[in-house]
C-alpha cells in the first residue's frame, strides 16, 4: 500500500512537471531546426543562433532590457533601503500609512499600473521611451525591496543602534556600521528580486515605452503578432541555459557556505 | 544612445525636490544633532506621490470627465450599455429614431467572461496544484528541494515565449494534431478558442498556486499528523481535520495570486485565443491604444481596480493575519 502510494505521488508530480516543461522542450528542439516551418523537421543546424546575433532589433532589445533592469534595480534598492529604515523609525500611525502606500502598486493589476503611468506621461507630455520605462520599473520595484528589507529590520536588536550612539558613534557611523550590515541579506534579496522582476516585465513596459525603444518582452510581443520568428526560439534557449548555469553556480555557492 | 531628455520643468521639479530634501536634513541636523532616521523615507514618499498617487488620481479624473474635461458619468453608463452614446443621439432625434434604441452589453459581457475564465482557471489550478503541493511536502518522498527548483525553473523563462511555444503544440499542423493523425484520428481545432486560452492561463499561473500551498504545508509540524493518527484518525480524516484546515492560509494566498492576474491578463487571450476571445484586460488596452478613448478606458480601469479591492477584502477575511505570505 505504502509503496504504490509513493509511486502514485511521484507519477502525479511527473505529469505536472511534464506539463510545465513540454513547451520549453519543443522550443529548444525547434531552435535547432534548419527550416523555418514549425511543423516540419528539416535537419539540425545552428542557423537561427547565427541569425540571432546578427539581428539588430533583438540585440538592441537585449541591451535595453539589461540596462533598464540594472538601473532600475540599483535605484530601487537605494530608494527602498533608505525608505525601509525611515519607515521603521517612524511612529506607528505614519508607519502604517506608509505601508499602505507601499501596498498600492503591489495590489494593483499590472495593466492598471501601466495605464496610470502612461496617463501620467501623456498628461505631462513627457515623451515615452527609455527614461520613462526606467521610472516605471523603479516604481514597481521599490515596494518589493522595502518588503524584503523590513523583516530584517524587525529581526534586528532594537537597542544595538542606541548602544552605538551611547558609545559615541555618530548616527551616520551607526547606520553604516550597525544597521546596514545587519540588514544586508534583505538588501541583496530585494535587489535580486527587483532585477528579475524588471527583466521579466511586459505589461508595464508595454504601456510606458515607445515602439522605438523596446525591451525583449515588448519586442517578442510585436513579433508574435506577425508570426513566430525562429530566432526567438534560439534566444529563449540561450536565456534558459544561462539561467540554468546561474542557478547551478548559486546553488554551489550556498552549498559551500553551508558546509 | 537613447533620447534621455526630459522637459525643463521635470528637471526643475527634481531640483526642487532635492533642495527641499537637503534643507530638511540640514534642519534636522541642527535640531537633533544628527539626521532623523524617519527622513530617509522622504525620497521614496515623494517618488510614490508622483508615480503612484498622482497617476491614480489621473485615472479617476479621466474616468469622470468627457473628452472636453467636463464632469460626466457617461463613461460608466457606457460600461453598462455600450450603445449608450448612440442611444442618446437617437433619443434626441425624436420619436422615429427612438425605435432603434437597443441596449449593448459588450463591456459587461467581457467582464463576466473574464471573471468566469479567471474563476475556472483558479479552480483548475487549485485542483491540480493542491495535490502537487501536498506530495511535494511529503517527507517520505525524499526529494525535497530538488522538486521545488524543478517547479521554479520554467517560471524563469519569459512568459510570452512560453505561451508562444504552446502555439506550436496546439495549432492545426502542430505536434498534438500530428500525433492524433498518426494514431489514425481526425485532427481537431485546438487553438483560437476559450479552451486554449484557459490552458495558457493554467500553464502560466499554476506555480503561483503550488508555491504558497507548499510553503504552508511544509511548515506544518509532522507530529500533528502523527498525533491525529495516534488518536484514531485514518489518513483521510487526518487530512480533512488537520492538514487541510492548517493549509488554508496558503490556499487563500494561492487563490489571490492566481485569480488577480487571470482577470487582468491580456496577452494570453490574444495569442492563443486569436482575437476570438476578448478579456477585460484586452478591452482596456484596446480602449486606450486602438480607440484612443482615455475616458472610457479609465472608467474601465477604475471598475477593475474596485473589483480587485473588493475580492482582496473578501479573501483577507479568511486569512486576516496574512500568514499565507503571498508574493513577499
Q: Nearest Cα to B263, choosing from B108, B113, B60?
A: B113
- pLDDT of B9 > 60? The answer is yes
Tell me the CA end-to-end span of chain B in Å, nearest whole number.
36
Contact B173 A135 (CB under 8 A): no
Contact A171 B35 (CB under 8 A): yes
Residues B66-105 have pLDDT tens digits of: 888 788 888 888 787 777 777 777 777 777 777 777 777 7
Residue-level pLDDT at A256: 63
Q: Is residue B292 domain-resident?
A: yes
Asked whether residue B94 falls in the same domain as residue B123, the answer is no
Quick one: cell of B27?
534642519
Contact A116 B271 (CB under 8 A): no
Asked whether residue B93 falls in the same domain as residue B137, the answer is no
The tens place of each residue's pLDDT in chain A, 259 residues long, gives: 466 778 888 899 999 999 999 988 888 888 888 877 766 777 788 888 888 888 888 889 989 999 999 999 999 999 999 999 999 888 888 888 888 888 888 888 889 999 999 999 988 888 888 999 999 999 999 999 999 999 888 888 878 888 888 888 877 788 888 888 888 888 988 898 898 889 888 999 999 998 888 988 898 888 877 766 788 888 888 888 887 887 777 777 666 655 4
- pLDDT of B277 > 90? The answer is no
User: What is the rounded distance in angstroms from the CA atom of residue B203 to the CA atom of residue B162?
Assistant: 9
User: Which residues of chain A neighbour B229 with C-beta distances below 8 Å?
Assistant: none
Residue-level pLDDT at A139: 95
Residue-level pLDDT at B130: 94
Average of pLDDT values for B177-206?
85
Contact A26 B298 (CB under 8 A): no
The pairs formed by B305-314 with CB atoms below 8 angstroms and a separation of 24 or more are B305/A108, B305/A109, B305/A112, B305/B59, B307/B263, B308/A107, B308/A108, B308/A109, B308/B260, B308/B263, B308/B264, B309/A107, B311/B259, B311/B260, B312/A107, B312/B256, B312/B260
Q: Is residue B160 domain-resident?
A: yes
Q: Are A208 and A127 in contact (CB under 8 A)?
A: no
Contact A20 B266 (CB under 8 A): no
Asked whether residue B87 falls in the same domain as residue B136, the answer is no
CATH code of the domain covering residue B252: 1.10.3720.10
- pLDDT of B264 > 80? The answer is yes
Q: Is residue B245 domain-resident?
A: yes
Query: Which chain B residue has the Cα nearest residue A64?
Result: B2
User: What is the rounded distance in angstroms from the CA atom of residue B253 to the CA atom of residue B240?
Assistant: 19
Domains and CATH numbers, chain A: 14-49 (no CATH), 57-229 (1.10.3720.10)
- pLDDT of B217 > 70? The answer is yes
User: Which residues of chain A neighbour B199 with C-beta distances below 8 Å?
Assistant: none
Q: Are A178 and A167 in contact (CB under 8 A)?
A: no
Asked whether residue B187 falls in the same domain as residue B309, the answer is yes
What's chain A's length in residues? Answer: 259
Q: Number of folded domains in chain B?
A: 2
Q: Is residue B200 domain-resident?
A: yes
Task: Name A246's Cβ contacts closer than 8 Å, sequence gap at least 6.
Answer: none
Residue-level pLDDT at B131: 92
Asked whether residue B192 falls in the same domain as residue B227, the answer is yes
User: What is the rounded distance in angstroms from the CA atom of residue A255 to the CA atom of residue A249?
Assistant: 10
- pLDDT of B273 > 90? The answer is no
User: What is the rounded distance in angstroms from the CA atom of residue B105 to the CA atom of residue B82?
Assistant: 6
User: Which residues of chain B neighbour A228 with C-beta distances below 8 Å?
Assistant: 164, 167-168
Contact B263 A109 (CB under 8 A): yes
Q: Is residue B285 domain-resident?
A: yes
Asked whether residue B272 falls in the same domain as residue B237, the answer is yes
Asked whether residue B157 falls in the same domain as residue B248, the answer is yes
Q: Is residue B325 domain-resident?
A: no
User: Which residues of chain B neighbour A23 with C-beta distances below 8 Å?
Assistant: 162, 165-166, 168-169, 203
More confident residue, A65 or B149: A65
Interface probe, candidates B1, B40, B110, B267, chain A, greatest A C-beta count within 10 A: B40
The 10 Å Cβ neighbour count of residue A148 is 25
Which of B98, B125, B156 corresponds to the end of one domain? B98
Range of the domain at B86: 9-98
- The whole-model pTM stands at 0.84
Amino acid at each position: 500500500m505504502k509503496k504504490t502510494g509513493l509511486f502514485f505521488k511521484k507519477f502525479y508530480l511527473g505529469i505536472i512537471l511534464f506539463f510545465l516543461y513540454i513547451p520549453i522542450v519543443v522550443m529548444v528542439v525547434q531552435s535547432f531546426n534548419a527550416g523555418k516551418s514549425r511543423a516540419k523537421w528539416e535537419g539540425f543546424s545552428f542557423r537561427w543562433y547565427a541569425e540571432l546575433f546578427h539581428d539588430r532589433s533583438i540585440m538592441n532589445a537585449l541591451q535595453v532590457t539589461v540596462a533598464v533592469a540594472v538601473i532600475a534595480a540599483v535605484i530601487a534598492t537605494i530608494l527602498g533601503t533608505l525608505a525601509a529604515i525611515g519607515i521603521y523609525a517612524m511612529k506607528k500611525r505614519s508607519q502604517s500609512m506608509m505601508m499602505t502606500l507601499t501596498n498600492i502598486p503591489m495590489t494593483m493589476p499590472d495593466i492598471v499600473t501601466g495605464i496610470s503611468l502612461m496617463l501620467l506621461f501623456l498628461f505631462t507630455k513627457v515623451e515615452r521611451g527609455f527614461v520613462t520605462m526606467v521610472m516605471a520599473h523603479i516604481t514597481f520595484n521599490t515596494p518589493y525591496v522595502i518588503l524584503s528589507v523590513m523583516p530584517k529590520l524587525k529581526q534586528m536588536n532594537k537597542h544595538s543602534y542606541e548602544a552605538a550612539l551611547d558609545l559615541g558613534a555618530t548616527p551616520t557611523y551607526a547606520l553604516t556600521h550597525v544597521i546596514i550590515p545587519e540588514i544586508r541579506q534583505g538588501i541583496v534579496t530585494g535587489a535580486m528580486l527587483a532585477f528579475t522582476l524588471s527583466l521579466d516585465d511586459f505589461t508595464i513596459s508595454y504601456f510606458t515605452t515607445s515602439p522605438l525603444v523596446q525591451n525583449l518582452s515588448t519586442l517578442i510581443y510585436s513579433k508574435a503578432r506577425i508570426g513566430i520568428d525562429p530566432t526567438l526560439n534560439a534566444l529563449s534557449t540561450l536565456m534558459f541555459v544561462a539561467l540554468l548555469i546561474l542557478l547551478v553556480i548559486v546553488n554551489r555557492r550556498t552549498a559551500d557556505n553551508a558546509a | 544612445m537613447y533620447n534621455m531628455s526630459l522637459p525643463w520643468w521635470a528637471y526643475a521639479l527634481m531640483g526642487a525636490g532635492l533642495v527641499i530634501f537637503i534643507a530638511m536634513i540640514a534642519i534636522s541636523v541642527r535640531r537633533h544633532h544628527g539626521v532623523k532616521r524617519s527622513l530617509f523615507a522622504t525620497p521614496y514618499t515623494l517618488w510614490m506621490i508622483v508615480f503612484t498617487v498622482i497617476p491614480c488620481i489621473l485615472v479617476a479624473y479621466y474616468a469622470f470627465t468627457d473628452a472636453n474635461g467636463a464632469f460626466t458619468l457617461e463613461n460608466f453608463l457606457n460600461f453598462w450599455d455600450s450603445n449608450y452614446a448612440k442611444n442618446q443621439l437617437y433619443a434626441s432625434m425624436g420619436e422615429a429614431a427612438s425605435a432603434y434604441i437597443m441596449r449593448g452589453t459588450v463591456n459587461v459581457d467581457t467582464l463576466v467572461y473574464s471573471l468566469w475564465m479567471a474563476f475556472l482557471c483558479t479552480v483548475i489550478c487549485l485542483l491540480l496544484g493542491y495535490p502537487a503541493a501536498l506530495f511535494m511536502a511529503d517527507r517520505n518522498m525524499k526529494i525535497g528541494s530538488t522538486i521545488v527548483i524543478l517547479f521554479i525553473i520554467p517560471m524563469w523563462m519569459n512568459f510570452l515565449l512560453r505561451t508562444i511555444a504552446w502555439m506550436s503544440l496546439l495549432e492545426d499542423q502542430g505536434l498534438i494534431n500530428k500525433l492524433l493523425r498518426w494514431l489514425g484520428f481526425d485532427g481537431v481545432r485546438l487553438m483560437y478558442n476559450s479552451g486554449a486560452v484557459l490552458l495558457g492561463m493554467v500553464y502560466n499561473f499554476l506555480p503561483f498556486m503550488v508555491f504558497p500551498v507548499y510553503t504552508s504545508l511544509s511548515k506544518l509540524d509532522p507530529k500533528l499528523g502523527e498525533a491525529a493518527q495516534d488518536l484514531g484518525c485514518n489518513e483521510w480524516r487526518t487530512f480533512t481535520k488537520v492538514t487541510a484546515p492548517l493549509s488554508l492560509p496558503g490556499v487563500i494566498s494561492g487563490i489571490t495570486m492566481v485569480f488577480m492576474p487571470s482577470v487582468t491578463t491580456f496577452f494570453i487571450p490574444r495569442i492563443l485565443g486569436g482575437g476570438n476571445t476578448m478579456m477585460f484586460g484586452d478591452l482596456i488596452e484596446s480602449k486606450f491604444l486602438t480607440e484612443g478613448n482615455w475616458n472610457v478606458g479609465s472608467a474601465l480601469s477604475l471598475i477593475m481596480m474596485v473589483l480587485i479591492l473588493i475580492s482582496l477584502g473578501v479573501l483577507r477575511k479568511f486569512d486576516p493575519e496574512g500568514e499565507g505570505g503571498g508574493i513577499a
